Amino acid sequence: MTKTPIKISTLDEYINFEDGTDKRYELEDGVLLEMPPGTGKHEAIITLLLVHFFLEIQKMRLPLQPRPNGTEVSIRFG
C-alpha cells in the first residue's frame, strides 16, 4: 500500500506538523519522508553528541536547551 505524500509549503507547517505518533520525519523537496528508527550505534553517537553539546552550552552559557530525545536543540527566549 502506497502512502499519499505529505506536502509541506512553509516552515510553520513543518514546525507545527503533528501526526499523533512518535515517528520522525525529514523534509525533502517539500515532502515529508518518514525516517527509519536508529540502531544501537546511532544511539551511542547521539548520546556522545548530546553530552558534548550540553557541556559546551553550559561552558559558553548559551540560552540553548538540548531536548530529551538528545537530537535537537531548542532556543529559550526570555
pLDDT classification of 77: cutoffs 50, 70, 90: low
Q: Do 33 and 25 form a contact (C-beta atoms < 8 A)? A: yes
Q: Do 47 and 39 form a contact (C-beta atoms < 8 A)? A: no
Higher pLDDT, 72 or 30: 30
Residue 15 has pLDDT above 70, yes or no: yes
Per-residue pLDDT of 48-62, as tens digits, reads 888 888 898 889 888
Per-residue pLDDT of 18-35, as tens digits, reads 888 888 888 888 888 888
At 59 the pLDDT is 92
* Rounded distance between C-alpha atoms, residue 53 and residue 20, angstroms: 29
